[in-house]
Amino acid sequence: MTDTAAPVVFVLNGPNLNLLGMREPEIYGHDTLDDIAGRLEDRAQDLGLSVDVRQSNHEGHLVDWLHEAQAVGARAVLLNAGAYTHTSVALHDAIKGIKTPVIEVHLSNPHKREEFRHRSYVGMAAKATVAGFGAASYLVALDAVLHL
Ligand code: DQA
């Protein structure tokens, strides 16, 4: 069980990440988001943290959750904004608008992919980026929270 007294890290996931495990597995792997959430919960416990893992296909939900992270005093946010990474000025502004540190996370390495993935509005505002380790990107980012 996750220790609810432990500092919370929000793990926010954007569009199409609910399809992980079935979606282009040659790029994103076979783990589902639930698999990743389970691993994050275990790792968080080892680190003395807790995680609150969420997913939405709607940009505004992600904006609201970034605001909520600050309101509840979250230690950090891990944000995989999916395709909104490359389009969303609203997410860029939300990250800049809160004091809670945000770490951008990607399973794939967008810089090795199509040119339209090379620009990240999230990365331009985030504290740091972890990308290219598959599902392990989330775990590397969670470990990094202790170094913030
Ligand atoms: C992604 C990379 C994005 O370019 C893409 O739109 C996604 C997933 C990743 O985790 O590798 O949906 O964020």
* Residue 28 is among the residues annotated as catalytic for this protein: yes
Tokens (6 digits) for 31: 């783990």
* Model confidence pLDDT, tens digit, residues 14-36: 999 999 999 999 999 999 999 99
118 tagged catalytic: no
Does the pLDDT value for residue 2 go beyond 70?
no
What is the pLDDT averaged over residues 129-148? Answer: 97
Which of 79, 85, 103, 130 best tests ligand 1's pocket when mutated (most atoms within 8 Å of CB)? Answer: 85
Q: pLDDT class for 4, splitting at 50, 70, 90?
A: low
Quick check: 66 pLDDT over 60?
yes
Mean pLDDT, the chain, rounded, equals 96
Q: Which residues pair with 10 in a beta bridge?
A: 52, 77
CA of 108 to the centre of ligand 1 (A): 7
pLDDT for res 1? 52
CA 123, 127, 131, 136: dihedral to nearest 10 degrees? -150
pLDDT band at 52 (very low <50, low <70, confident <90, very high): very high
CA of 5 to the centre of ligand 1 (A): 32
Of all protein residues, whose CA lies closest to atom 2 belonging to ligand 1?
82
Q: What percent of the chain has pLDDT over 70?
A: 97
CB atoms within 10 A of CB 11: 26
Give, in order, the Cα–Cα distances in Å from 28 to each of 17, 73, 98, 123. 10, 31, 29, 20
pLDDT at residue 48 above 60? yes
- The pLDDT tens digits for 73-121 are 999 999 999 999 999 999 999 999 999 999 999 999 999 999 999 999 9
Q: For residue 140, report the distance from its CA to the centre of ligand 1, in Å.
A: 17
